[in-house]
A and B are shown apart, each in its own frame.
Chain A
Amino acid sequence: MAATDRRQLVRSGLLLLLALVPFGHQAIAATLPVDNVDVLYHRYDGGGMVIDGPSVLVRKGIGSSVSFSGQYYVDSVSAASVDVLATASPYEEERNEYTFGVDYLHDKSILSLGFTNSTENDYEANTVYFSVSQEFFGGMSTVTMGYASGWDEVGRVGNDSFSEEADRRNYQLGLSQVVTRNSLVGLDLEVVTDEGFLQNPYRQNRYIDPNDSTAFLYQPERYPETRTSTSVAMRALYYLPYRASIRGEYRYFSDTWGINAHTVELGYVHGLTQRWTLEGSVRYYSQNEADFYSDLFPFENSQTHLARDKELSSLSGTTLAVGAVYEWKQTSLPGIDRLQFSLLVDWLNFDYDNFRDVTAAGDFLPGEEPLYSFDAYVTRASLILEY
């Protein structure tokens, strides 16, 4: 019998056998994340803020279809940012976050369920999330759908009677598609809706003093109680003729507060040796300001909604990032299958187009202060051990 005839036979045997299998979707052997410990030290330093802390994640499978994970995360904040200096005094605080998750492998799909609780002295956030991920088309396509629901309690230090709430829902859809042996593309969509108290209770906005036009006064922020945003992102990753990859990403963002934003990122990863890789990336971000944003309002309560939160200003940001990764597969260490250590340093720079620095030295008329800008370094040291 010729090889091709036999091949036909294998094929027909296979197809017939498939016809007998109950209805489902074409998917091949999804696998749960492997057992691992992921330890991270992170530090953010810039714009008067220093935020650092550890993060520890432990993941352990039970049997062949269930994997549990738990994460503890800390932000130790030392704050003396421009917002703080303008209207308050520098402070220190700590945020603690716990996440528990379970992943369940069922019939070639992975179902994930989790809960996150984050607390600081004036804010508590809770989130439950659920997602389903499935491979299709001979493993060339992966579709992920996710839903998250969050409810936050907003407090205010020094005012025990202040208590507000905010609810949040995230709808996520992701498609990852293998295009060739050397390239893959990803498409992500996320819609987020918020409802409730959405502003920062400490921040204030300013208006021209009606009795003295060379001075300004502060009034509380007043945001809409709902916000819906949509983000669409495309990514492409290409394996170069040598052991290296280039990556390109673009994201478009739009929300009901009138903000549109664009994010572009280019990355390069270079395999130096079997175990060492170096990486670098450039990211550019820009947004326009919210409909109700102003650096300086003309008079008190001049409009329904008032904001001078610099995150709602028109701004642009640039990031330059470098990193080195040491990856040791099949280690000789007892009980450890794979070790990965990464040191990543990012330099971020933000320029505000309509947020002025009221703390700037010198005599300025309201609205004539220099525009604010700052830069920051983000350092991450990460150790991942698979066992």
Chain B
Amino acid sequence: MKASIKSLAVAGILACLSPLAGAEAINVPAPDFTLESRSGENLRLEDHRGEVVMLNFWASWCGPCRQEMPLMDELYSQYKDLGFTILAVNVDENREEAHRFLDKVPVNYPILYDPESSVSELYEVQAMPTTVMIDRNGNARYLHYGYQPGYEDEYEQQIRELVRE
């Protein structure tokens, strides 16, 4: 126990000196949550156990989100029949802003609302957007911070890998 605390402390210090890289592999259970969705019903992460879940945190004011969401929608339509879904958590305080955004950037995947930031806190969201790839067993496997053109290829590669497992 002592050793693990020590290693955590070291990791913490190093974290201060390290960039939060675009994408990294991890393997930890994804914390469960329940949020209201755009359709009005509550969606729970646990209920998607057995599916590959792309958990995406976005905001209407986030420029890169606007770039990646249409691309994510393509991935959604391409892989949703293979046991894949996207849960897109909107962090706007004002839901109207999200709706206005979605009118202009229409997507078919489920949108969840987190106006109190409880799920964003739970996942310690470090950037806008943040994407977590969750495997069929409910483990978070890949983390993406921000979006730059080309990330969609990584997303697709990881979705393919996790869908096959």
Contacts and interface: CB of A to CB of B under 8 A. Distances in A.
Contacts of A22: 18
Interface residues of A, number: 38
Given A23-B17, A107-B19, A1 B145 contact: no
Given A18-B11, A34-B63, A330-B101, A23 B18 contact: yes
A184 to B, nearest CB: 15
Contacts of A14: 26, 124, 143
B140 interface: yes
B15 A15 contact: yes
Contacts of A330: 66, 101, 104-105
B64 A3 contact: no
B24 A17 contact: yes
Interface string A86-113: 0000000000000000000101100000
Nearest to A105: B148
A14 B18 CA distance: 12
Interface string A103-125: 00101100000000000000000
Contacts of B27: 13
Given A3-B122, A18-B14, A330-B104, A29 B146 contact: yes
A23 to B, nearest CB: 6
B31 interface: yes
A108 to B, nearest CB: 5
B71 interface: no
Instruction: Report which residue of A23, A26, A65 has the largest number of chain B beta carbons within 10 angstroms of its beta carbon.
Output: A26
Given A12-B8, A31-B64, A26 B124 contact: no
A124 to B, nearest CB: 39
Nearest to A23: B17
B110 interface: no
Contact of A139 (B18, B19, B104, B127): B127
A16 to B, nearest CB: 5
A10 B31 contact: yes
A337 B66 CA distance: 10
Contacts of B16: 26
Interface string B118-131: 00001110111000
Contact of B15 (A6, A18, A107, A337): A18
Closest 6 CB pairs of A and B: A29-B146, A330-B104, A15-B11, A24-B19, A64-B149, A13-B28
12 contacts: A10-B140, A14-B26, A14-B143, A15-B8, A16-B11, A26-B18, A29-B22, A29-B64, A29-B147, A31-B64, A330-B104, A330-B105
Interface of A: 1, 3, 6-7, 9-19, 21-29, 31, 34, 63-65, 105, 107-108, 138-139, 274, 329-330, 337
Interface of B: 7-8, 10-12, 14-22, 24-32, 63-64, 66, 100-101, 104-105, 122-124, 126-128, 140, 143, 145-150
